[in-house]
Amino acid sequence: MLPGMNLTVIDHPLTRHYLSILRDETTPPEAFRAATKGLTYTLVLEATKRLPLAQHEIRTPLEPTVGYRIGEVVAIAVLRAGLGMLDAVLETIPHVRVGFAGVQRDEETATPQEYYAKLPDLSRATVLVLEPMLATGGSLAWAVSKAKESGATDITALCVVTAPEGVRRMYEEHPDVHIVAAAHDRELDDRYYIVPGLGDMGDRLFGTW
């Protein structure tokens, strides 16, 4: 956790390995998608460390023992780049419900523009918001506000790369939201891209540059 911030940056060999593949400009879309999935597994494991558990009795082939069951989890994919993280969440937490938050960035002002939102009732759920690139923080702050409007009180954001500007905004607007990331990069450039970063996550996932 960075001092004074709500950010945890994962320090794990697998995270570094997959992040390096994502940063490499020569990585083709199919390898980029695979690396995104692999990296997301490491983010999910960190983000779910404190999931509430309910005890129940189970029986092994030898005797009864105590088992544990996780509660309700909802993942919110921020379109479109958040889709690249969704498969890893679905495979790790098969009973997860999924919401979608569609927002695009105005290239001149970097302000978020909403175009779609479909969320279930979140009042009893642990919520994971999938937003790979936390740049200015506008998109993530908007998605979190939407989640809170749907009743969410326990929210963690999963990000691949963050910038100081975005983390600061999240801390100011949503200090109760924990951010789990693979990297905390230096700054934003004059086009509001994270540097060194990895480019446009959506374009690289789907080959649309």
Q: Is 109 a catalytic residue?
A: yes
Q: What b/e sequence results for 135-172 when a residue is b if at least 16 CB atoms lie within 10 Å of its CB, and e otherwise?
A: bbbbbbbbbbebbbebebebbbbbbbbbbbbbbebbbe
Range of the domain at 171: 7-206
61 in a domain, yes or no?
yes
1 in a domain, yes or no?
no
Which parts of the chain sit beneath pLDDT 70? Answer: 1-5, 105-112
Q: What is the CATH number of the domain that holds 48?
A: 3.40.50.2020
79 in a domain, yes or no?
yes
Catalytic residue among 23, 48, 168, 200: 200
pLDDT for the residue 116: 80
Q: Is 185 a catalytic residue?
A: no
pLDDT for the residue 3: 44
pLDDT for the residue 56: 95
CA–centroid distance for 137 within its chain: 13
Sign of CA dihedral 91, 86, 44, 161: positive
pLDDT for the residue 10: 96
29 in a domain, yes or no?
yes
Catalytic residue among 50, 109, 121, 208: 109
171 in a domain, yes or no?
yes
Peptide linkage before 175 cis (omega within 30 of 0): no
pLDDT for the residue 163: 97
Task: Record the pTM.
Answer: 0.91
Tally of domains within the chain: 1
- Quick check: helix, strand or coil at residue 162? strand
pLDDT for the residue 113: 75
Residue at 130: amino acid letter = L
Catalytic residue among 16, 23, 97, 105: 105
Q: Quick one: which H or E segment has residue 168?
A: helix 164-173
pLDDT for the residue 117: 87
2 in a domain, yes or no?
no
